[in-house]
Structure formats: C-alpha cells, structure tokens
Amino acid sequence: MDIVSVNSLPYEDFVDVFGNVVEKCPIVAAAVWSRRPFSSLADLVASINDFIDALPESGKEGILRVHPDLAGRDLQGGTLTPESREEQGQAGLDTLTTAEVSRMARLNKEYKDHFGFPFVICARMNNKAKILQQLEKRLGNERAHERTRAIDEVKKICHLRLQGLVVPDRSNKL
C-alpha cells in the first residue's frame, strides 16, 4: 500500500490494517489517524513515535505489559499474535532446546519481578544468543532507563511492521 492509499482509509480500515503495529495496542493506530494526511511512511512512523512519547510513564509501561514474553506461554500455547509468532520464529525462539527454554523462562521471570513489565526486544534485529545476552545485561539497568530502552525496542518493532505494510517513499529510492 502506498501513502496515498493509507491516507484514503476510513478509520475502521486504518485500524484493521495498522492496529497491531504496536502489539495489542490498536488505540495507537486509532489515535494517529487524527494526524492524516501523512506525507510519507517516515511521517506515519514519526506520528506513532510522537504519540507514544506523549503518553504518561504509566501508559508506556502499559504498552510493555501487553507484550508477550519471548519464548513464553503464548508461543508455547499458540496464542501469540501472527506478527509476534513470525518475529519470534525468525529469531529462532520456537526451536529452543529444553535447557534454553528453562533459562529464558528464569531470566524472563527475574526481569518481570524486578521491573514490573516484560522484557521487550526487536526479535527480528536479533537472534536467540543475542536476545539472551541482552536480557541478562538489561536486567542490571536502572528502572526508568530500562523503560525508555524497552520503548525504543517497541518503536523498532513498530517500524519494521509498518515497512511490511506500506511501500517506501519514492524519495527514499533515489
């Protein structure tokens, strides 16, 4: 879809198409529809990032808390969103050994107990080794810093999901 088509969508279709670019937060797409017309994919990305940044800190934590654990119960139970399933699969999280699953579960729990939200990372920009490494490393961060870090990952995930839905702007091709 090009940006002209995006701008022509009624809000219901816009939410149908973009409702999960931020995982389980259709309110985000539904809100930024107010900012049409978008001049480019980059403008749509920026509008979403601006909306996220304008949320109260509790709202940012809310975004994180509706994200699934990596290699967690939703992957094992088949209840991931299609986008998350594909991304976790690409990172190799659906073919972990029993030992790796246990280690991931232990670290995920430690992270959640410590921060009160789940570990979020852009799986498509990583692999299972890097993900485990980052999970251990980020556990040592200060809470507010880690919240910002995790929201940056939400934005990367969102950007990649949008790139799969909207063709790049012509200016980017020149």
Active site residues: 67
Mask for 87-126, x = binds a copy of itself (CB under 8 A): -------------------------x---xx---------
Can you tell me which of 11, 39, 145, 165 binds a copy of itself, judged by CB under 8 A? 11
DSSP structural state of residue 55: S
- Amino acid making up residue 30: A
Token digits of residue 156: 């990367």
CB of 159 to a copy of itself, least distance (A): 19
For residues 151 and 117, give the distance between their C-alpha atoms in angstroms, rounded to a whole number.
11
Do the beta carbons of residue 10 and residue 71 sit within 8 Å? no
Q: Is 121 exposed, middle or buried (0-12, 13-18, 19+ CB in 10 A)?
A: buried
Q: Which of 79, 172 has the CB closer to a copy of itself? A: 79
Instruction: Give the total of residues touching a copy of itself (CB under 8 A).
Output: 33
CB of 109 to a copy of itself, least distance (A): 10
Q: Which of 155, 174, 166, 160 is nearest to 46 (CA)?
A: 155
CB of 171 to a copy of itself, least distance (A): 26
Q: Give yes or no for residue 37 binding a copy of itself (CB under 8 A).
A: no
Do the beta carbons of residue 18 and residue 29 sit within 8 Å? yes
Contact footprint for a copy of itself (CB under 8 A): 10-12, 15, 19, 24-35, 51, 54-59, 61-66, 112, 116-117
